Structure 1
């Protein structure tokens, strides 16, 4: 379980709360992504970037999964996800720093290398420990399915994502002695009703915000070796 850390209401960003589902032994997180999506679009406008609507939708879905994943992780972790899709042919890159709550990312749709199957890289730096990388192959064009495969293969536990509304997402992940039959059978309607049907214990609140400037540079500097390694494998020519 992550160490509690108070969130100042004066800090920019919004809060995401995580809960322990008692008697089920699972962690539950739910997020309204509307505020972060607004900041993402402001970033696109300021940067002069206009991803295709299909690519934009995939990025936003991946961003929701990233936020729900990172708020359930330790405070001293810095994370980067690189998702390579073959249909459509593109790479998604998202990075985040749990100490600041900052997240950032981008769609890369040019010079993407054609590969036999989709690839998902998850890179983690925890404190001063060496970077750890997990690599997962996945099928289809749903980023949340890719993350569920990552949980199954690399985390070796069951994690499920649910879209409860246009910008409303939830995540339920196995903890020791979890009721796995219950978790496997969950529906979006059941997850929506958790506050009335399940006994929830608040674990903590995390600050989340779109990162730019020095915070974004810090994340990219720490994780740059991973991105340079990815470029050789995931891009067919000079990276744009």
Structure 2
């Protein structure tokens, strides 16, 4: 069984068993339907927390802590993996539609373009505007407001979803899961952008490290200055070149490791 399937199985088991336990130890949750308790669990481990459902007994509060500690990382990993699958699907579809060869490394590593992510958010909000029931005024700014506070896991509680039927429960759950996946994709995109920005600053690892030349020690930084003087270049230019060489060597090492893994598999 694939690791992702195992994680989903564990998460599903946790939520089903958790719902049974909650209904046994909390009188308020016991009066709610089973799917409403499942929704309460999802709102808990997704950290949305609208506030309209909450444990009232000491036992259920303690169990909520244990449940959240187990459920939050499982949900993050599960939805994060779905985000990766969606990204891979996008690049494969992109290559098929535009008849362009998309490298395997690109499919595995590159993020969905920001404009596409924004477009997906727009379409999602539009779907929510017309189809997702919430406690505010329908077909108004309340719909967009509800979607935003839900996806941002703010969950003020002034606008909450209506899940009085199993059909509505299914719609709202699917909507919130999809929105959470979009959030993860956006966060990954922004994180990688910041990392790229930082990595573009010319830096050489170990510039303060000393090496022995002849009978004396000299730092890498001092070697850089000497090379700059020899070739009438600025130390910044030399560091930039060395940084590029360092990056090339790192990429070559990563490619060699990837080839070794593929050969073993």
Higher helix share: 2
Global fold match (TM > 0.5) = no
Which category of TM-score, normalised to the shorter sequence, fits these structures?
under 0.3
Q: Which has the higher contact order (CA 8 A, sep 6+)?
A: 1
User: TM-score of the superposition, structure 1-length normalised?
Assistant: 0.27
Higher strand share: 1
